[in-house]
Amino acid sequence: MTENANHPWYDRPNATINAEGDLEIRASAARSCRRALWYTVTGVKITDPPTRQDRARMESGKMMEPVLIELMREEGWNIRHNSQLQPETCRIKMMPGVYVTGTWDAFGRAPEGQKPATDSVIEVKVRGNAQYNNWSIRGAALATPDAVSQGAIYVWQMDPTGDLVIATMNRETMEWDTEQIANARLKAAMYDTVAWLAPLHERLKASGPEAKLPPGRDFTMKNYQCQNCPFQTECYASEKKEAEPQGTRHTVNIEDATQALLDYEDAAVAIDEQTEKKAASMAVIAAWYESTEQGKMKLQGHKKARTISRVSYPSYQVSDKAVRELLTDEQKEEFVTEKEISYVRVS
């Protein structure tokens, strides 16, 4: 047993070699970075365990699963929720010597008149705001193909002809929605997963110098897979940091940065106080206007008279779900563009 196996947050490793010498991979990790899976199997020490905030986020996701299931029931879904205490599990042979195991979340059908009309595997996901919006616009096949592969594995064992429903909740806004993945797409995901895992299996079976070297990295620091990887430091340790352009950076010492942070906090408090004061004042003005509404009205300010009036205009919203269902994956890739946003954050 490796040191990682005793780690309280990694008591269920993403990949192991069982007593028969077979490679066993968790369904949720079947399309994860193969270098990270190689690190796990070969016992490389974890260098970046989750922070307390990461741990809280992961645990809150588990706790919100039955909440989302109950909300779906209230909307008319007929659902059998897999027990979280003694769950039914799946074990699929992907190829000789490679098995994928996992636990499906739920099984059921949509309200009458909606799809899917037949019982389907339901995979529940809880996402942050950015990931939820990405999924909402692009769909799971493009935004989170690992979730499609995971669900496809469960469908393959439970009902090979069935569809998959991915139910996703935004942990920040509590908004939720569902997406149906057709069986044809699930079959393609299974083939993709087999092709994804085959090189890893071959590397682990190999002997000689190459067998001691990890496979290439499948993602970059732009991807959540890299950002949340427990082997991140180990993975990037051998790479030299890119040289900073000369003469373009202003050097700041820690004392200046600390003072700037204190000034930032003071300014943030002042802004919050003024924002609250402004909102309270606006509420009083609105209450006065609504009680005496006569078109445009005047109130005397410090320097000039201000006009108080009601503004009304139509608001239009495009249904992300309707767009997801209408467009093919190829069309989504063509129409939905990605723009990287980068900034320094104080949290």
| High-pLDDT (> 90) share of the chain, % | 56
For the domain 3-236, what is the CATH code?
3.90.320
pLDDT at 291 > cutoff 50: yes
**Residue 95 region, left (φ>0) first, then alpha (ψ -120 to 50), else beta?**
beta
**Residue 56 region, left (φ>0) first, then alpha (ψ -120 to 50), else beta?**
alpha
pLDDT, position 242: 44
Which helix (H) or strand (E) segment holds residue 31: the answer is none
pLDDT, position 80: 95
State the average pLDDT for the chain. Answer: 87
* 66-109 residue pLDDT tens: 999 999 999 999 999 998 889 999 999 999 999 999 999 999 99
Instruction: Name the DSSP letter for residue 119.
Output: -
Enumerate the domain spans of the chain: 3-236, 256-291
**Residue 76 region, left (φ>0) first, then alpha (ψ -120 to 50), else beta?**
left
Q: What is the DSSP string of 229-291?
A: -TTHHHHHTTSPPPPPPTTS-----HHHHHHHHHHHHHHHHHHHHHHHHHHHHHHHHHHHHHH
CA distance 107 to 156: 13
pLDDT, position 334: 80
